[in-house]
C-alpha cells in the first residue's frame, strides 16, 4: 500500500501546488519539496528495513489491487533491489530538481511544479510497476508533463525540441504497447488466462519469430529512451532546450527508465530472443559510446555537449546489459546511478552558468575559475567523475561493465574501452574552455550561493561515496542481477567473486585495472581453482 501512496503523494502534491500558486509563489515550491522529501525518506526507510533482512522472497515489498479485472489489469507494484536503487535516485534528483528551479522558474510556478511532480510520479510508477498495462500507463504519464516542461519553460528553440522529444518517445512507446498487447494475447491463448501480470507472463512460451517481433517492440521503445545511436537525435535537442530541472530529470531519470525496461522486462520476458539480439545491441552500444564521444567533442553548446556525454555513457549501459553476466549487470546498475548523479550535477552547473551569463556557447566563456572558484571546483570534480577517474562512482561502474563484457565479446569491449580515452578528451575540454584559459568576455558574475553549493555538495558526497564504498549499492544491484541473469539460461556464466573485485578496485585505484584483468584471465583458465582460492582468501 505504501508503494501506491508514493505515487498518489506526488500527484496530490502536484495538484496542490498548482492550486495554491494563485495565492503565493513560495507555497508550490514548499509543497513539492515536502512531497518529494517524504518520498525520499520513505525510500530510505525501505532500504534500511531491507538491509535488516525483512524482505521475503524476491520483492522487498509489493502491493496488488484489482484495477480493471475484465482485462486482467491490476495495480501491481513491487520493489526489489534494482527498483529500490532507482527510487532512491528518483527522489534524490527530484529534491534537487525542485531546489534548482527555486529561483530559476519565475513564471507560472504552480503549473511548473504540477508538471514536475507528475513527471516524478510517472517515473516512480515506471520503476514500481509489475503489471505491463500499468507500466505502459506510467510510461506515458511521464511523457506529457515533460513535454510541457520543455515547451513552456525551455530555451529559445523549445517547441521544436519538445515536439521531437514527444514524437520519438510516443511513437516508440506505442510500438511497445502493441508488443504488450501481443504478449497478452499470446499468453492468453495458450493458458486461457488473459493477464498483464508481469510474473505470470514471465514463463510465456512462444515461437522464435513471434518472440523476436514482440521483443523488438519493447526494445525500440527502450533504446529510444536510452538514446542509442540511430534513435538518439531527440536527446541533444531536448536536453539543451529544457529548463535545468528538466535536463536533470531527463538525463538523470528518463534515460534510466529505458535501461530499467531492458533489464526488468526485455531480458526476462524474451530470454532467447534477447540472445539473438545481443550482438546487434552490443554493436549499437559501442557505436553510441564512440559516436556520442565524437559528437560531444564537436559541440560548442555546453548543454548539448553534456547531452552527447549522456549518449556515450548510455552506450556502456547497453553494452553491459547484453553482456549477460552478473558483473556487467552490476556495473550497469551502478552506471545508472552514477550517471544520474554526475550528469545531473553537470546540468546544474551548466544551468547556473546559463543563468549567469545568458549563453551556453563555450567559445564565449573561458577563465571563469577566477571569478567563480566554487563553481570551478565543482565543475572539475564532476568532469573528472564523468571521464571515469578512479575514486569516483563512474569508474567503478564503467570498469565493471567492461570487465563483464570482456568475457562475452572481446573485440567490442576493446573498442568500447577507447571510449574512455575519448571521454577524457571531451571532458577536459569542458574544463579548459569554460574555467581555464583566457577570458573571452568580461562577464560580471557571482559565484555559487548557499542553495547551489548545498545541492552540489550533496551530489559530490554521493559521487565520492559511490566511488569509494560502492558495496551497499552493489549488494542491492546484485540481488537484482542474480535474479535477472539467472533467468536467462544457456549462458556460460563467468562468476568472478564480486566482492573481491570491488575491493581491488577500491584499494588499488588505477592499478586495479591491470590486476583485475589479470585475475579474470587467470580465472578463465583455471576457473574452479580461482573460486576456491577466493573463498579461502577472503
Partner 1 sequence: MTIPDIKCLLPMVILACGILFTMMLIAVNRNHRLIFISTLLVLSAAIIADSLQTSEKPHAIGEIVIVDRFGIYYQVLLLSATWVISIFSYISLEHFFSDKRKEEYYLLLMLATLGACMMAISTHFISFFVSIELLTISLYTLISYYRNQAKAIEAGLKYLVLAAMSSAFLLFGMALVYAVSGTMSFSGLSAITPSLNASAQLMLVAGIGLMVVGIGFKLALVPFHMWAPDVYEGASSPISAFIASVSKCSVVALLLHLFVIANLYQYQKVMLAFIVIAILSMLMGNLLALMQKNVKRILAYSSIAHLGYLLVAFIAGKGMGVEAATFYMTIYMITVIGAFGIMTIISPSDEDANIENLKGLFWRKPYLAALFTIFLLSLAGIPLTAGFMGKYFVLAAGLGKTEWLLALVLVISSVVGLFYYLRVIVVMMKTDENSILTSSSFLRSSPAGVLMLTFLGLLVIGLGVYPDWLIEMVKNIQ
Footprint of partner 1 (CB under 8 A):
67-71, 108, 133, 136-137, 140-141, 143-144, 147-148, 151-152, 159, 162-163, 166-167, 170-171, 174-175, 177-178, 181-182, 184-185
Q: Which is nearer to partner 1, 174 or 531 (CB)?
A: 174
Q: Which is nearer to partner 1, 135 or 270 (CB)?
A: 135
Angstrom distances, CA of residue 453 to CA of 56, 98, 385, 461: 41, 15, 18, 12
Which helix H or strand E contains 367, and what residues bound it?
none
Q: Which is nearer to partner 1, 180 or 226 (CB)?
A: 180
Partnered with residue 129 across adjacent β-strands are 77
Dihedral sign from CA coordinates of 483, 488, 490, 496: negative
Which one-letter DSSP state was computed for residue 71? G
- List % helix, strand, coil for the chain (3-state, nearest 5): 75, 5, 20
Helices (H), 358-409: 373-387, 393-406
The answer to whether 313 touches 392, Cβ cutoff 8 Å, is: no
Q: Which is nearer to partner 1, 168 or 324 (CB)?
A: 168
Q: Which is nearer to partner 1, 170 or 487 (CB)?
A: 170
Which one-letter DSSP state was computed for residue 361? B
Closest by alpha carbon to 251, among 228, 220, 225? 225
CB of 285 to partner 1, least distance (A): 27
Q: Which is nearer to partner 1, 104 or 508 (CB)?
A: 104
CB of 184 to partner 1, least distance (A): 8
Cβ neighbours for 296, distance < 8 A, ≥ 6 positions apart? 305, 306, 308, 309, 311, 312, 426
Q: Which is nearer to partner 1, 177 or 277 (CB)?
A: 177
CB of 140 to partner 1, least distance (A): 4
Q: Which is nearer to partner 1, 147 or 347 (CB)?
A: 147
Euclidean distance between CA atoms 253 and 243, whole angstroms:
15
CB of 329 to partner 1, least distance (A): 30
Euclidean distance between CA atoms 291 and 274, whole angstroms:
24
CB of 505 to partner 1, least distance (A): 42
The answer to whether 293 touches 203, Cβ cutoff 8 Å, is: no
Euclidean distance between CA atoms 362 and 508, whole angstroms:
36
Q: In angstroms, how far is the first alpha carbon of the chain from the final one?
A: 41
CB of 101 to partner 1, least distance (A): 18
Closest by alpha carbon to 348, among 443, 433, 459, 207? 459
Q: Which is nearer to partner 1, 58 or 65 (CB)?
A: 65
CB of 358 to partner 1, least distance (A): 20
CB of 137 to partner 1, least distance (A): 5
CB of 68 to partner 1, least distance (A): 5
Q: Which is nearer to partner 1, 147 or 322 (CB)?
A: 147
Dihedral sign from CA coordinates of 388, 390, 392, 394: positive
CB of 171 to partner 1, least distance (A): 4
CB of 107 to partner 1, least distance (A): 9
Q: Which is nearer to partner 1, 141 or 456 (CB)?
A: 141
- The CA R_g of the chain, rounded to the nearest whole Å, is 22
CB of 133 to partner 1, least distance (A): 8
Q: Which is nearer to partner 1, 237 or 326 (CB)?
A: 237
Which one-letter DSSP state was computed for residue 69? G
Euclidean distance between CA atoms 282 and 288, whole angstroms:
10
Q: Which is nearer to partner 1, 147 or 448 (CB)?
A: 147
Euclidean distance between CA atoms 126 and 138, whole angstroms:
5
Euclidean distance between CA atoms 331 and 327, whole angstroms:
6
Q: Which is nearer to partner 1, 162 or 416 (CB)?
A: 162
CB of 428 to partner 1, least distance (A): 39
Please provide the size of the chain in residues: 538
What DSSP string describes 376-388?
A: HHHHHHHHHHHHT
Q: Strand, helix or coil at 365?
A: coil
Q: Per-residue b/e over 146-156, b at no fewer than 16 CB within 10 Å?
A: bbbbbbbbbee
CB of 120 to partner 1, least distance (A): 15
What DSSP string describes 196-243?
A: -BHHHHTT----HHHHHHHHHHHHHHHHHHTT-GGG-THHHHHHHHS-
Amino acid at each position: 500500500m505504501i508503494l501506491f501512496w508514493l505515487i498518489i503523494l506526488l500527484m496530490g502534491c502536484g495538484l496542490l501546488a498548482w492550486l495554491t500558486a494563485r495565492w503565493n509563489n513560495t507555497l508550490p515550491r514548499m509543497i513539492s519539496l515536502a512531497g518529494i522529501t517524504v518520498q525520499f525518506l520513505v525510500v530510505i526507510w525501505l532500504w534500511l528495513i531491507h538491509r535488516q533482512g525483512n524482505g521475503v522472497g524476491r520483492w522487498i515489498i509489493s502491493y496488488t489491487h484489482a484495477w480493471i479485472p475484465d482485462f486482467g489489469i491490476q495495480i501491481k507494484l513491487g520493489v526489489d533491489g534494482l527498483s529500490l536503487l532507482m527510487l532512491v535516485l528518483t527522489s534524490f534528483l527530484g529534491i534537487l530538481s525542485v531546489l534548482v528551479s527555486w529561483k530559476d522558474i519565475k513564471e507560472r510556478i504552480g503549473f511548473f511544479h504540477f508538471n514536475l511532480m507528475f513527471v516524478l510520479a510517472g517515473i516512480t510508477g515506471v520503476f514500481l510497476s509489475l503489471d505491463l498495462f500499468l507500466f505502459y500507463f506510467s510510461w506515458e504519464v511521464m511523457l506529457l508533463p515533460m513535454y510541457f516542461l520543455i515547451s513552456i519553460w525551455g530555451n529559445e528553440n523549445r517547441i521544436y525540441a519538445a515536439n521531437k522529444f514527444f514524437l520519438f518517445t510516443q511513437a516508440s512507446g506505442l510500438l511497445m504497447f502493441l508488443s504488450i498487447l501481443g504478449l497478452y494475447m499470446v499468453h492468453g491463448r495458450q493458458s486461457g488466462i488473459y493477464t498483464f501480470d508481469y510474473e505470470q507472463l514471465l514463463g510465456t512460451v512462444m515461437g522464435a519469430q513471434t518472440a523476436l517481433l514482440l521483443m523488438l517492440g519493447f526494445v525500440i521503445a527502450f533504446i529510444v529512451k536510452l538514446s542509442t545511436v540511430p534513435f538518439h537525435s531527440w536527446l541533444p535537442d531536448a536536453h539543451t532546450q529544457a529548463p535545468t530541472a528538466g535536463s536533470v530529470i531527463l538525463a538523470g531519470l528518463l534515460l534510466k527508465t529505458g535501461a530499467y525496461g531492458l533489464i526488468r522486462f526485455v531480458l526476462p520476458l524474451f530470454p532467447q530472443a534477447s540472445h539473438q539480439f545481443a550482438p546487434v545491441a552490443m554493436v549499437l552500444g559501442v557505436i553510441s559510446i564512440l559516436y556520442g564521444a565524437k559528437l560531444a567533442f564537436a559541440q560548442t553548446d555546453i548543454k548539448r555537449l553534456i547531452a552527447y556525454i549522456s549518449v556515450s555513457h548510455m552506450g556502456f549501459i547497453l553494452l553491459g546489459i547484453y553482456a549477460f553476466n552478473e558483473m556487467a549487470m552490476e556495473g550497469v546498475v551502478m552506471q545508472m546511478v552514477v550517471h544520474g548523479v554526475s550528469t545531473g550535477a553537470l546540468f546544474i552547473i551548466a544551468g547556473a552558468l546559463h543563468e549567469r551569463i545568458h549563453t551556453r556557447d563555450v567559445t564565449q566563456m573561458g577563465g571563469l575559475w577566477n571569478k567563480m572558484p566554487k563553481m570551478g571546483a565543482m565543475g572539475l570534480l564532476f568532469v573528472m567523475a564523468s571521464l571515469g577517474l578512479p575514486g569516483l562512482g563512474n569508474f567503478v561502474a564503467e570498469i565493471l561493465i567492461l570487465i563483464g563484457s570482456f568475457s562475452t565479446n572481446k573485440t567490442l569491449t576493446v573498442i568500447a574501452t577507447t571510449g574512455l580515452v575519448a571521454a577524457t578528451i571531451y571532458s577536459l575540454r569542458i574544463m579548459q574552455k569554460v574555467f581555464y584559459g583566457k577570458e573571452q568576455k568580461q562577464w560580471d558574475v557571482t559565484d555559487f550561493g548557499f542553495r547551489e553549493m548545498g545541492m552540489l555538495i550533496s551530489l559530490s558526497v554521493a559521487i565520492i561515496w559511490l566511488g569509494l564504498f560502492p558495496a551497499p549499492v552493489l549488494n542491492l544491484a546484485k540481488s537484482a542481477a542474480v535474479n535477472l541473469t539467472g533467468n536467462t539460461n544457456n549462458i556460460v556464466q563467468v562468476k568472478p567473486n564480486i566482492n573481491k573485485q570491488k575491493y581491488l578496485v577500491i584499494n588499488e585505484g588505477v592499478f586495479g585495472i591491470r590486476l583485475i584483468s589479470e585475475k579474470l584471465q587467470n580465472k578463465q583458465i583455471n576457473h574452479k581453482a580461482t573460486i576456491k582460492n577466493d573463498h579461502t582468501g577472503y
